[in-house]
Chains A and B, each alone.
Chain A
Amino acid sequence: MAYKDFRDFLHTLEKEGQLLTISDEVKPEPDLAAANRALNNLGDKTPALFFNNIYGYTNARIAMNVMGSWPNHALMMGMPKNTPLKEQFFEFARRYEQFPVPVKREETAPFHEVEITEDINLFDILPLFRLNQGDGGFYLDKAILVSRDLDDPDTYGKQNVGLYRMQVKGKNRLGIQPVPQHDIAIHIRQAEERGENLKVAIALGCEPVITTAASTPLLYDQSEYEMAGAIQGEPYRVVKAKDADLDLPWGAEVILEGEVLAGEREYEGPFGEFTGHYSGGRAMPVIQINRVYHRKQPIFEHLYIGMPWTETDYMIGVNTSVPLFQQLKDAFPNEIVAVNAMYTHGLVAIISTKTRYGGFAKAVGMRALTTPHGLGYCKLVIVVDEEVDPFNLPQVMWALSTKLHPKHDAVIVPGLSILPLDPGSDPAGMTHKMILDATTPVAPDIRGHYSQSLDSPLGVAEWEKKLSRMLR
């Protein structure tokens, strides 16, 4: 089911009625961001946007919201566009277990068509624009960045492919925000301890499967390319970078090669983030770009990010939930049913589990806090019974309202780590965390009046079938 390249996926979206082309002239600001924000306000089945008539540009083509809805997420996985979310979750989890699928190597790629090594000016090459009014500049926020572990360059999985926001701060300069919980921070530290620049490559306009793998909280030594292969069910195609021993996605529209400058920090931000708040301005590392290549007439992909929900939330919803699900299942294989960590990148996580004995659900909650993703997220963990669908918020609210006794079931663990972008963390990067146990107490935790749970009248299943036939 693999998509050949970014354009192939856009064609599929168009064929499925999930791509809206805007041919009227739009201004780079504020129209591009405003149109996307408005689209995100219109529900969870929206199409991608394709702009081909942008004021001041002669032939800029910009795709946005490419994975910004559940139908587009289903199409990313090659599933019918109306696949229910819970089914997408379990199918993603099934493919996740096929990891690793080794990559397929190519010698050349379509992006080798045009190459620039002199007088690079990213402001000329890329149609850049502002997203939110307080942003300190123009950003690359859906580009993947590739780097390698310097201590162990031969372990394939330690080559990292990640999504990081990058501010364009000069003709060949980018600022990057390396959150300490993310792998790029490890590679930058290794290089700076040696006093060396860190070679990196950046790919824009990629097939959605590598963007998905790059935004999945994999373990440090798991390869995103080998995960992309697992998700698409066939080997992922890569080609070597020219200035470094780095693999690039074959289907990308634009490639930037460069290096993180050792020991340099430069003012960056603020940037409107997925938390629904601006990040503030801080001194961050700098990337110098030395080489650019791209397809003729490249399609520039961009992502609107801001107050949830935006494309980011669809992009990192299922693929954040699945690693937590798998890691919890490693600990409790017979109990864990499903995990919904879709809210604000898993700052809230809802876990559905069976309970073996009194206090069990709280242990499940504690385990979630100590998973690799939980260390930087999972500020509030809600644990519900196996019958409760964690993707069905009315059911989750029912569990909270009837199963939870604040005296017994609200656990606060002080002084834990969190990503510094959490605007409530104080100091940035530190927080208390809370587990809400909304499961039914079981022995020896004997409390409450839970022996008469409500059942349904006999024959409901037959009536459901009959009525849905009549309503067709």
Chain B
Amino acid sequence: MHICPRCESNRSEVVTRSPVKGAWEVLLCPVCLFTWRTSEPDSITDPAKYKSAFKVNPQDIPNAAHVPPIPERI
């Protein structure tokens, strides 16, 4: 189990592993869709060190503005 550095959900999944065994994994958070590689600097991978301006609150995600808005069916 991995904690998402950005929204701190604990549901992240491995989407790929390095072709060279054991170098790194790439993880994807299904809540905020953040992606990171385990070999990245800890300012990216560690929830405590992730820049506060870029943190995402999971409760805000459903309210994100639609760009573009979904048009009416005609």
Question: Scoring A residues 255 to 268 as 1 if CB is less than 8 Å from chain B, else 0, what string do you get?
Answer: 00000000101111
Q: Is there contact, CB below 8 Å, between A134 and B28?
A: no
29 contacts between A and B (CB under 8 A): A28-B24, A28-B37, A29-B44, A55-B24, A56-B18, A56-B24, A56-B39, A124-B16, A133-B51, A134-B54, A136-B34, A168-B35, A169-B28, A169-B35, A170-B15, A178-B68, A192-B70, A193-B71, A195-B73, A263-B70, A265-B64, A265-B70, A267-B33, A267-B56, A270-B54, A281-B64, A282-B67, A283-B65, A284-B67
* Docked CA distance A27–B37 (Å): 11
B1 within 8 A of A: no
Chain A contacts to B: CB under 8 angstroms: 27-30, 55-58, 121, 123-124, 128-130, 133-134, 136-138, 167-171, 175, 177-178, 180, 185, 188-189, 192-195, 263, 265-268, 270, 278, 281-285, 420
Please name the residue on chain B nearest to A190 by beta carbon: B71
Please name the residue on chain A nearest to B31 by beta carbon: A267
Q: Is there contact, CB below 8 Å, between B37 and A177?
A: no
In B33-66, the 8 Å CB interface with A consists of: 33-37, 39-41, 43-44, 51, 53-54, 56, 61, 64-66
* Docked CA distance A283–B41 (Å): 28
Query: Would you call the interface of chain A mostly helix, strand, loop, or mixed?
Result: loop
Q: Is there contact, CB below 8 Å, between A123 and B6?
A: no
Q: Is there contact, CB below 8 Å, between A189 and B71?
A: yes
* Docked CA distance A278–B54 (Å): 10
* Docked CA distance A193–B73 (Å): 4
**Measured between C-beta atoms, what is the minimum distance from A418 to chain B in Å?**
15
Q: Is there contact, CB below 8 Å, between A29 and B20?
A: no
Residues in B neighbouring A192, C-beta threshold 8 A = 70-71, 73
The answer to whether residues A29 and B68 also contact, given A137-B34, A138-B35, A194-B74 and a CB cut-off of 8 A, is: no
Which 7 pairs show the lowest CB-CB distances between chains A and B?
A56-B23, A56-B18, A137-B35, A123-B16, A283-B64, A58-B19, A282-B67
